[in-house]
Structure formats: C-alpha cells, structure tokens
Amino acid sequence: MERRRTAILISGRGSNMSALAAAAMEPDYPAEISLVVSNRPDAAGLVRAREMGIAIDVVDHKAFGDKAAFEAALTATLERAGTEIVCLAGFMRLLSEDFVHRWHDRLINIHPSLLPAFTGLNTHVRALDAGVKLHGCTVHYVRAAMDNGPIIGQAAVPVLPGDTPEALGDRVLAAEHQLYPRALALVAREEVRVVDELVRFSTPPAKPPGMLLSIG
Ligand code: GAR
C-alpha cells in the first residue's frame, strides 16, 4: 500500500501530532508522518516528535520580514520532504490565501469546537459562557478565513454541570485525538472529496453515528 507523505505543522505541545503519529505506526494506516514542522523553536511537540523518530524542522516566523517570506520558506520545507498532505495541529499562525491555494484540498486543520460555532481562541470558555450542552471538535479542509472550510468530521462531547474550561478542554482534547487520525485516514485514502465546498464521501461511513443527547 502506498502511504501518503504527510507533514504536520505545530506551534506547541503537539498532542494531536502525537495521536496522528501513533496512528501512522499501524502498518495499514494510509498516511506516513514524514515531517513535523514548528514555527516556534521551543515547541514541546518537537521533542516528542524526535522521540518518536520523526524528522523535524523549524521555520521560525520571527526570522522572516513578512508573512510571504515565512510561507515561502514553509512551502520549500514541505516540498523538500515530498509532502502530499499537510495537517495543522495546534499551528497558531493564520495562513495566507496564497499558501492555502498552494495546498488546496491537501491542507486540513483541527479546531476545538463544533464549527461553525466558536472560531478563534478560548473556545472552551466561550462554550461555557454560551451555556451550550454539547461541545467538541472539528477537522476541516483549510480555507483562507480562519477556522473555516469544508467539514470532514466532528466529535461531540457533553458539557457537564460544574465543568471548568480545563475539564471541558481535556474532554474535547481526548475526542480530538480520536477524530484527527480517522479524518486523516479518510483524506489519505481519498474517501472524501470536496464538491461545491461540501465534503462528499465516496462510500458512506460504515456505521452511521447515533444521536448524542445531552440535557442538564
Ligand atoms: C488543540 O486543541 C487544537 O484543536 C487547537 O490547539 C490545540 C493544540 O494542542 N487548535 C486551534 O485552536 C486552531 N484554531 P496540541 O498542540 O496538543 O495538539
């Protein structure tokens, strides 16, 4: 089986990167993690990636005069590694239209909310403030607008009485670690494609999800 060469872009802790890398260690997983790139030299995820035996690189945005130069270096790094798919995993730089266009429908992101609700930062605080009863995470193809683009998959978790942002965030993060490897597998196997800016499945998912009811 041909495994799709996948790069992961991180800015910090890299727990989603670790989840993807762990999934890719399975022999029948359709993607291989060929490179982890951070825009921050001190990202903890770089250490973890190295421990897992994955090639790492740093493209420090602070070393470039403008976004175009930073992104040109990023693309050169990705191309050198023969990258076919790019996964954003806690990569906290907004990417330009040019970069997004260069990797059109080969660039995916995970966001800690049920999009289109709560784009941007502090999603768990905002979910609690809004009083929603379900929260979760989304994997989507990246478009130039922040946290926007055709949705590949979502995982929902209940908001529980007495939740703090930290407790809710931990519950969502555990769901992220389940969702992202499944979504990348769909993309790598070309079981999904974008039609009219919506994600279509070539074969329906094996098990239709049941209802997740959360009251209280
Ligand atoms: C994750 O919760 C991810 O969904 C979020 O950053 C965290 C990174 O954690 N991404 C965004 O907010 C993107 N808008 P990690 O470094 O442990 O994977």
Instruction: Quick: pLDDT tens for 169-197.
Output: 999 999 999 999 999 999 999 999 999 99
| CA-CA-CA-CA dihedral for 163, 12, 99, 59, to nearest 10 | 170
Burial class (CB in 10 A: 0-12, 13-18, 19+), 89: buried
* pLDDT at position 208 over 90: no
* pLDDT at position 1 over 80: no
Do the first three CATH levels of 1-103 and 112-216 match, i.e. the same topology? Answer: yes
pLDDT tens-digit readout, 78-121: 999 999 999 999 999 999 999 999 999 999 999 999 999 999 99
Q: What's the pLDDT score for residue 214?
A: 78
Ligand 1, CB cutoff 6 Å, lining residues: 10, 12-16, 45, 89-90, 110-112, 147, 173, 176
Q: What's the pLDDT score for residue 212?
A: 78
Q: What's the pLDDT score for residue 203?
A: 80
Q: How far apart are alpha carbons 166 and 170 in whole angstroms?
A: 6
Q: How far apart are alpha carbons 144 and 17 in whole angstroms?
A: 22
* pLDDT at position 168 over 80: yes
Cβ atoms of 31 and 188 closer than 8 Å: yes
Ranges of each domain in the chain: 1-103, 112-216
Q: For domain 112-216, give the CATH superfamily.
A: Formyl transferase, N-terminal domain (3.40.50.170)
For residue 107, report the distance from its CA to the centre of ligand 1, in Å: 15
State yes or no: is 61 an active-site residue: no
Instruction: Place 34 in a pLDDT band, splitting at 50, 70 and 90.
Output: very high
Atom of ligand 1 nearest to the CA of 12: 16
| β-bridge partners, 36 | 8, 56
* pLDDT at position 151 over 90: yes
The active-site residue out of 61, 101, 111, 177 is: 111
pTM above 0.95, yes or no: yes
For residue 20, report the distance from its CA to the centre of ligand 1, in Å: 13
Q: How far apart are alpha carbons 117 and 119 in whole angstroms?
A: 6
Q: What's the pLDDT score for residue 165?
A: 98
Q: For domain 1-103, give the CATH superfamily.
A: Formyl transferase, N-terminal domain (3.40.50.170)
